[in-house]
Amino acid sequence: MKFSVNQTAFINQINNVLRAISSKTTIPILTGIKIVVAKDGITLTGSNADITIQSTMTTAESSNELVVEEPGAIVLPARFFSEIIKKLPEKTVTVAVHEGFQTKITSGSAEFIINGQDAIHYPHLPEIESDVTIKMDADLLRDVIDQTRIAVSKQESRPILTGIHILLANGELTAIATDSHRLAQRKVKVDTGDASYDVVIPGDSMTELARLISDEKDPVDLQIAENQVRFKFGNTLFYSRLLEGNYPETSRLIPDTADTTIEVEASKFLSTIDRASLLSHQGHNNVVKLTIDPDQGVAKISGDSAEVGNVEENVMADSVKGAELEISFNPDYMSDALKSFGQSTILISFTSALRPFTLVPTENKEDFIQLITPVRTF
Amino acid sequence: MKFSVNQTAFINQINNVLRAISSKTTIPILTGIKIVVAKDGITLTGSNADITIQSTMTTAESSNELVVEEPGAIVLPARFFSEIIKKLPEKTVTVAVHEGFQTKITSGSAEFIINGQDAIHYPHLPEIESDVTIKMDADLLRDVIDQTRIAVSKQESRPILTGIHILLANGELTAIATDSHRLAQRKVKVDTGDASYDVVIPGDSMTELARLISDEKDPVDLQIAENQVRFKFGNTLFYSRLLEGNYPETSRLIPDTADTTIEVEASKFLSTIDRASLLSHQGHNNVVKLTIDPDQGVAKISGDSAEVGNVEENVMADSVKGAELEISFNPDYMSDALKSFGQSTILISFTSALRPFTLVPTENKEDFIQLITPVRTF
């Protein structure tokens, strides 16, 4: 096995697959990066058993400056190998299996020989047997992930809630996440054809995917098999396992009436919440109170903690309607939810001090909803 | 106590004094920031017992937009207070002692009330009784610190070596640091007048000082008392305690002959050393080998580790002279030393494989020296 390649292009592809590689894996060979060299290109693979990322560099792509002298395969220690490649002195890097599984890396007058492992021992990629490919705009997919992943549970006590529930049918993708204290739901139009899927993808996988596609201009191809999902974009394949089990029915959690409402710019309300949480983070229970007085047209955020002090601020609301209300909640949940709306104006709808309340964009009340359960303080 | 002030100017001064404040202090009131309000200005003080930083904002300085309504003093929880000030919505901040030691902070519609402490309980500043003031260019002082602090010992077993030895006499400042494996010495011209000092300043204090003066254009005034040193620059006073005890005699450690020399650009050699240390950091003993063959005009860096592999690279030296030599050293010590020379060309002088070797700029061989003790590998 021997090839030479442009350093910058190689580093970009290595960085892609490194996202899947953890030094904490229980399968030692997965701390390595697999390099498979064929006549027309090289393929890099990284995996942590949950996620597998595969990146291909072809000789046809001139910016790769890829010259294959001898096909073959090797597994090299991922972090160490990537650090070496990043620090090499010249822009051309040559990698050659040298003796046994020892691999020689040369660039200018620098020469490293590092111990590799036989690629035969690297786990096989999951098989995706599916005729259906669903195309999604990369930016839209990233938004769907970023707007729902905040509500994914971090508790392993109910593993199914550590995933994002994805429903695909009738020209619509619905993504739902809940940790049972809050819920995020986003619907977008996609061309599903006749296909219909109901799967749960680990939240961590989706978070990594969102990072990977952050600069992606082309659409992302999605294929779903029995226990795996595969996303394809550019020269990269991203595999994730699916979570087993049934996701709870969540539609009945979302209230369809409201007794009190506020309209407010999400970013302005976010600043107010972030200030109040400075105080709530110092105290024992991380709670702030919202007092709504529609007669006065005033909504006020307040918090107090015997040890450190108290805070009070009027919300710059565009409208305050309905019944008087005092409601308390975790400001971090509110902050996460508000960030997901960017610069939009939102409608917040309450029924009572102990019932969940919802946030939706005023421009699109059907397709995007954040729900937060209040905290009982009395 | 009541004043209002421009938020940005206030944050800048708070950030200055925060550098001295540690949440790990054993003296609870030192987790606070002391604010003293007088008719013509406010003074902020932060301290960790070793270092005290005092910053003054005057009403005369228009960019402070400082209006004093009522003089007084208070101690407020430093991190919490600074976070609040940074997040306030409007550019004008009002701070007022409210009731007891409760302090009200207002800006726009946001209002915080936080619990303060009586400023009477805050430790008094050290007294500096000295008629002698030494002026130093801030950039030069920062260079002296940055070039020597790398060799300061981190081991508390010999406390005196955790400081930088400062000698001031005869128009010269000499700064020396050693952790007994390496040594850094820098001499600069300063106007000492008739004064003569021999003190040891904690390395951590000097590191903080170097950061604080990084943007300073005006000279720094230096005053030394029995167990304290005070640096004055802009509106800031920086106090540090001195270390007690005698600093070891170091001049005899520096060899005055050389059997083998290399001239090399510091930055180029640094790249080579950084690459080789990728490998040495993986192994059990962090050592690289330099092999010098003056007949071939070649100097070569190499390292090997049974577990991970080996590395080899020719040094891009401008000249290689004297006797053949193989010498091993800690590449991190070499890397630290090389960084202190910036883009300069340096002369490295060796006597033998087990004797310390020196690095000096070829442009100024007298005033700046880094010394490294090799590692015995046989």
DSSP string, B163-188: EEEEEEETTEEEEEEE-SSEEEEEEE
| Inter-CA distances, B195 with A178, B131, B132, B324, B343, Å | 71, 10, 7, 47, 35
Residues B138 and B98 both lie in one domain: no
The minimal CB distance from A80 to the residues B110, B308, B312 is found for B308
Report the residue of chain A nearest B315, measured CA to CA: A109
Residues A139 and A78 in one domain: no
Torsion of CA B250, B256, B257, B263, to 10 degrees: 90
Provide residues of A within 8 Å CB-CB of chain B: 77, 80, 83-84, 87-89, 102, 109-115, 271-272, 274-275, 278-279, 282, 307-314, 316
Q: Give the whole-angstrom CA distance, residue A369 versus residue A358.
A: 7
H-state helical runs in chain B:
7-18, 78-87, 138-148, 203-212, 266-280, 331-339
Check A84 against B278: CB less than 8 A apart.
yes
Q: Judge whether B249 lies within some domain.
A: no
User: Using a CB-CB distance cutoff of 8 angstroms, which residues of chain A are in contact with residue B86?
Assistant: none
pLDDT above 90 (res A126): no
Does any domain span residue B248?
A: no
Mutate to test the interface with B, among A311, A315, A316, A335 (most CBs of B within 10 A): A311
Is the domain of A202 the same as that of A231? yes
Q: What is the pLDDT of residue B48?
A: 94
What 3-state DSSP class applies to A38? strand
How far are the Cα atoms of A273, A289, B42, B110, B218 from residue A297, in angstroms, in the given order?
A: 19, 17, 39, 17, 54
Chain A hits for B312, Cβ within 8 Å: 110-111
Q: How many residues does chain B have?
A: 378
Residue B101's region, left for phi above 0, alpha for psi from -120 to 50, else beta, is alpha
B172 near B233, Cβ under 8 Å?
Answer: no
User: Is the CB of A110 less than 8 angstroms away from the CB of B275?
Assistant: yes
- Are the beta carbons of A348 and A357 closer than 8 angstroms? yes
Query: Number of helices (H) and strands (E), helices first, in chain A?
Result: 6, 26
The pLDDT tens digits of the residues spanning A138-189 come to: 999 999 999 999 999 999 999 999 999 999 999 999 999 999 999 999 999 9
Top residue of A86, A103, A109 to mutate, by most chain B CBs within 10 Å, is A109
The residue type of B314 is N
For residue A279, the surrounding DSSP H or E stretch is: helix A266-280
- Tell whether B181 and B265 lie within a shared domain: no
Best residue of B274, B313, B316 to probe chain A, by most A CBs closer than 10 Å: B313
* pLDDT for A131 beyond 90: no
Which CATH number do you get for residue A146?
3.10.150.10
* pLDDT level of residue A306 (50, 70, 90 thresholds): confident
pLDDT of residue A30: 96
- CA A301, A304, A307: angle at the middle one, nearest 5? 155
Residues A7 and A89 in one domain: yes
3-state secondary structure of B9: helix
> Measured between beta carbons, which residues in chain A are less than 8 angstroms from residue B114?
308-309
Final residue of a domain: which of B90, B121, B152? B121
Q: Please tell me whether residues B116 and B139 are part of one structural domain.
A: no
**pLDDT score, position A58:** 97
What percent of chain A is modeled with pLDDT above 70? 100
- From A241, A269, A291, the end of a domain falls on A241
- The domain of B54 spans 2-121
Which pLDDT score is estimated for B99? 79
Is residue B337 within 8 Å of B359, Cβ to Cβ? yes
| Distance (Å) from the alpha carbon of A102 to chain B's nearest alpha carbon | 8
Is residue A165 located within the same domain as residue A274? no
Q: pLDDT tens, A256-272?
A: 899 999 999 999 999 99
CB nearest to A112's CB, from B84, B112, B311: B311
From the list B89, B282, B309, the residue facing A271 with the nearest CB is B89
Q: Among A97, A86, A107, A114, which residue's Cα sits nearest to residue A36? A: A97
Question: Residue A226's pLDDT is what?
Answer: 87
* B30 shares its domain with B74: yes
Task: Tell me if B87 and A314 make a contact (CB, 8 A cut-off).
Answer: no
Q: DSSP letter string over B130-144?
A: -S--EEE-HHHHHHH
**Spatial distance between the Cα atoms of B14 and B78, rounded to a whole number of angstroms:** 9
Residue in B with minimal Cα distance to A88: B275
pLDDT over 80 (residue A378): no
Task: Tell me the C-alpha distance between A80 and A114, whole Å.
Answer: 9
Residue B110 to residue A80, Cβ atoms within 8 A: no
CA distances (Å), origin A97, targets A17, A68, A115, A159: 21, 13, 10, 42
At position A26, the amino acid (one-letter code) is T
Bridge-partner residues for A359, per DSSP? A348, A370
Q: Enumerate the residues of chain A whose CB falls inside 8 A of the CB of residue B313.
A: 109-111
CA B188 – CA B186 distance, rounded (Å): 7
Establish if B231 belongs to a structural domain.
yes
| Chain B interface test: which of A275, A279, A296, A316 (most B C-beta within 10 Å) | A275
**Cα–Cα distances in angstroms (integers) from residue A145 to residues A18, A75, A246, B331, in the given order:** 21, 32, 20, 44
The better pLDDT of the pair A129, B37 is held by B37
Q: Which two tokens stand for residue B24?
A: 């790990």
Q: How far apart are the first and last CA of chain B?
A: 70
Q: How far is CA A221 from CA A132, A235, B219, in A?
A: 10, 12, 62
Q: Is the dihedral of CA A324, A329, A331, A336 positive or negative?
A: negative
Residue among B80, B110, B271 minimizing CB distance to A308: B80
- Cβ–Cβ < 8 Å for A287, A221: no
pLDDT at A45: 98
Q: Specify the pLDDT at position B283.
A: 81
Q: Could you say which of B80, B111, B279 has the minimum Cβ distance to residue A312?
A: B111
Closest-CA residue of A relative to B283 is A80
CA dihedral A362→A276→A180→A327, nearest 10 degrees, is -70
Q: Which two tokens stand for residue A123?
A: 């786990």
And the tokens for A147? Answer: 């707007």
Among B106, B278, B315, most A C-beta atoms within 10 A, so best to mutate, is: B278
Whether A60 and A40 have beta carbons less than 8 Å apart is answered as yes
Closest chain A residue by Cα to residue B301: A110
User: What confidence tens digit (pLDDT) does each residue in A22-55 have?
Assistant: 988 889 999 999 999 999 999 999 999 899 999 9
> Chain A: residue nearest B279 by CA?
A80
Query: Tell me, what amino acid is at A214?
Result: S
Residue B87 to residue A278, Cβ atoms within 8 A: yes
Give pLDDT tens digits for A75-121.
Answer: 999 999 999 999 999 999 999 998 789 999 999 999 999 999 999 99
Of A94, A121, A148, at which residue does a domain stop? A121
Shortest alpha-carbon distance between residue B266 and chain A (Å): 15
Number of domains chain B is built from: 3
Q: Which of B98, B311, B315 best probes binding to A when mutated, by most A CB atoms within 10 angstroms?
A: B311
Render each residue's pLDDT in chain B as its tens digit; 378 residues.
999 999 999 999 999 999 999 988 889 999 999 999 999 999 999 999 899 999 999 999 999 999 999 999 999 999 999 999 999 999 999 999 987 899 999 999 999 999 999 999 999 987 888 889 999 999 999 999 999 999 999 999 999 999 999 999 999 999 999 999 999 999 999 999 899 999 999 999 999 999 999 989 999 999 999 899 999 999 999 999 999 999 999 999 999 899 999 999 999 999 999 999 999 998 888 999 999 999 999 999 999 988 889 999 999 999 999 999 999 999 999 999 999 999 999 999 999 999 999 999 999 999 999 999 999 987
A261/A220 same-domain check: no
> Domain of B357: which CATH number?
3.70.10.10
Q: Report the relative pairing of strands A41-47 and A32-38 from DSSP bridges.
A: antiparallel
Same domain, A289 and A203: no
Are B270 and B216 in the same domain? Answer: no
What's the pLDDT tens digit per position in B262-291? Answer: 999 999 999 999 999 999 998 888 999 999
**What percentage of chain A has pLDDT greater than the value 90?**
91
By C-alpha distance, the chain A residue nearest B269 is: A89
Report if residue A78 sits inside a domain. Answer: yes
For residue A285, name the pLDDT band (cuts at 50, 70, 90).
confident
Alpha-carbon gap, residue A32 to B196, rounded angstroms:
60
Distance separating alpha carbons of residues A34 and A45, to the nearest angstrom: 5
Which residue from B minimizes the CA distance to A90?
Answer: B271
Q: Which residues in B lie closer than 8 A to residue A282 (C-beta atoms)?
A: 80
Nearest CA in chain B to A82: B278
Distance from CA of A115 to the nearest CA of B (A): 5
Distance from CA of B209 to the nearest CA of A (A): 30
> Rounded to the nearest 10 degrees, how much is the dihedral formed by the CA atoms of B130, B134, B136, B142?
-40
Which residue carries 């944050």 as its tokens?
Answer: B11
Q: Is residue B129 part of a domain?
A: no
DSSP letters, A115-126, are E-B-GGGSPPPP
Phi, psi (deg, nearest 5) at residue A179: -105, 15
- Provide CB contacts within 8 A for B172, sequence distance 6+: B187, B188, B189, B190, B192
CB-based contact B111 A77, cutoff 8 Å? no
Residue B69 lies in a domain: yes
Residue A249 domain-assigned (yes or no): no
Q: Name the residue with tokens 């901040």.
A: B93
The answer to whether A311 contacts B111, with C-beta atoms less than 8 Å apart, is yes
Query: Which residues of chain B does A308 touch, with a Cβ-Cβ cutoff of 8 Å?
Result: 77, 80, 114-115
Handedness of CA A327, A331, A337, A339 (dihedral sign): positive
Q: What are the backbone angles phi and psi of residue A344, rounded to the nearest 5°? A: -65, 155
Beta strands B228-233; B134-136: pairing state: unpaired
Those residues whose C-beta lies under 8 Å from the C-beta of residue B159, and which sit 6 or more positions away, are B243, B245
State how far the alpha carbon of B153 is from the alpha carbons of A115, B159, B212, B369, in Å.
36, 8, 22, 17
**From the CA of B151, how many Å to the nearest CA of chain A?**
25
| Closest-CA residue of chain A to B81 | A278
Question: Are A105 and A144 members of one domain?
Answer: no
Element holding B289 (H helix, E strand): strand B288-293
* Domain-located, residue A367: yes
CB B279 within 8 A of CB B311: yes
B→A contacts (Cβ < 8 Å), by residue, are 77, 80, 83-84, 87-89, 102, 109-115, 271-272, 274-275, 278-279, 282, 307-314, 316
CB pairs under 8 A between A and B: 82
- Supply A367's token pair: 């397709």
